[in-house]
Amino acid sequence: MAIFIWSAMGWYPLEGHWFPERVVANSSIDHLFYVILALTGIVFIGTGLLMFWFLWKYDGKHHEGPVFYSHGSHYLEVLWSVIPAILLLFLAIYQMDAWAGARMRRPMLENGQPKPPIARVTGRQFEWKIQYPGADQKLDTADDIYLVNELHVPRDEEIVLEITAEDVLHSFFLPNFREKQDVVPGMKQYVWFKPVKDGKFDIVCAELCGWGHYKMKGQITVESRSDYDAWLKKAYDDQELSEFTLAEAE
Ligand SMILES: [Cu+2]
């Protein structure tokens, strides 16, 4: 039992095997997972052991007395109602900080305004459309940059994303960032996180959204601010170039 709880808390020897690598500093979701896993794990193993003990104790060889039927116990009913109630109350209070961090404490600018999104991510069958605001920092203007399944963000900064859907329900899921949010057509939502590690990570859809759900996969790249700026500028220039070539071809 002790080994199970030990492992469930994410310590040796199973450390790092429960979750994909975490690239944000905030570990509150991981802790919540471990606490719930330990609680449910203890109940799972406890009831399993108890069941096997009863099987052994009351089999024909060990038990010769008459079979005794019990007809409910007021004491037990109260006990197994109160214990789960206390556990649920504990979880309700314990998760408040994780919830507030993920849903209520949106990063703010120095002037007290909410930080604008670095990009808009729109789920549609079966890809993630990415829209960057361009130099004017405003979405839906002429200098916007459009990409598909390719999101870049600078490291060590609070990143805000605007997320939505175009056709059906999707779920924007960044496993390494511990972010997951259903996206709904016609509904604008924001997610935020602060990546602390460079690399390329998955963007997946976690809501069965049609026959091509399995291939609805993008990539998020975390890089230094200078690499990010250079990449964004190149994406803009490439787009200008392709529009120019298109116009010429006509
Ligand atoms: Cu989807």
CATH code at position 144: 2.60.40.420
More confident residue, 164 or 243: 164
Domain count along the chain? 2
Question: What is the mean pLDDT of the segment spanning 117-137?
Answer: 93
Q: Are residues 96 and 48 in the same domain?
A: yes
Is residue 109 assigned to a domain?
Answer: no
Statement: residue 127 has pLDDT above 70: yes
User: Both 128 and 243 in a single domain?
Assistant: yes
Let me know whether 54 and 86 are in one domain. yes
CA of 204 to the centre of ligand 1 (A): 8
Question: Alpha-carbon distance 249 to 241, whole Å?
Answer: 12
Q: How many CA atoms lie less than 13 Å away from 235 in the CB half-sphere?
A: 21
E strands, 167-230, in order: 170-174, 179-183, 189-193, 199-205, 217-223
Reported confidence tier of residue 228, pLDDT bands at 50, 70, 90:
very high
Structure confidence at residue 193 (pLDDT): 95
Q: Report whether pLDDT(243) > 90.
A: no
Query: Does residue 198 fall inside a structural domain?
Result: yes
Tell how far the Cα of 164 is from the centroid of ligand 1, in angstroms. Answer: 11
Distance 229 CA to ligand 1 centre (A): 29
Report the pLDDT value the prediction gives residue 30, as an integer from 0 to 100: 86
Inside any domain, residue 25: yes
- Within-domain flag for 74: yes
d(CA 138, CA 170): 25
Residues 99, 124 within the same domain: no
CA angle 71, 77, 80 (to 5 degrees): 135
Tell me the pLDDT tens digit for each residue of 100-118: 999 999 999 999 999 999 9
Same domain flag for 140 and 222: yes
Pair 162, 215 in one domain = yes
Domain encompassing residue 147: 119-249
What's the CA-to-centroid distance between 168 and ligand 1, angstroms? 8
Q: CA-CA distance, 146 to 169, in Å (whole number)?
A: 22
pTM here is: 0.82
pLDDT in tens, 3-43: 555 555 556 556 566 788 999 988 888 888 888 988 999 99
14/95 same-domain check: yes
**C-alpha of residue 186 to centroid of ligand 1, in Å:** 15
Write down the pLDDT at residue 10.
56
Residues 92, 178, single domain; the answer is no
40 and 140 assigned to the same domain: no
Higher pLDDT, 19 or 62: 19
Average pLDDT of span 131-136: 90
Residues 6+ apart with CB under 8 A from 215: 126
Expressed in angstroms and rounded, the spacing between residue 219 Cα and the centre of ligand 1 is 14
Residue 15: per-residue pLDDT: 59
In a domain, 110, yes or no: no
More confident residue, 79 or 244: 79
Q: Give me the sheet containing 159-165, strands edge to edge.
A: 145-148, 127-132, 119-124, 159-165, 189-193
Higher pLDDT, 57 or 200: 200
Average per-residue pLDDT in the chain?
89
- Does residue 215 share a domain with residue 129? yes
Examine the domain organization and report whether 93 and 157 are in the same domain. no
| Å from CA of 235 to ligand 1 middle | 25
Question: Residue 114 falls within a domain, yes or no?
Answer: no
Instruction: State the DSSP H helix or E strand holding residue 66, giving kind and residue range, or none if neither.
Output: none
Could you tell me what percent of the chain has a pLDDT over 90? 66
Identify whether residues 167 and 227 lie together within a single domain.
yes
Among the listed ranges 14-18, 22-26, 123-127, 174-178, which one has the minimum average pLDDT value?
A: 14-18
For residue 111, being part of any structural domain is answered with no
pLDDT for 191 beyond 70: yes
Closest CA to 18 of 27, 45, 218, 220: 27
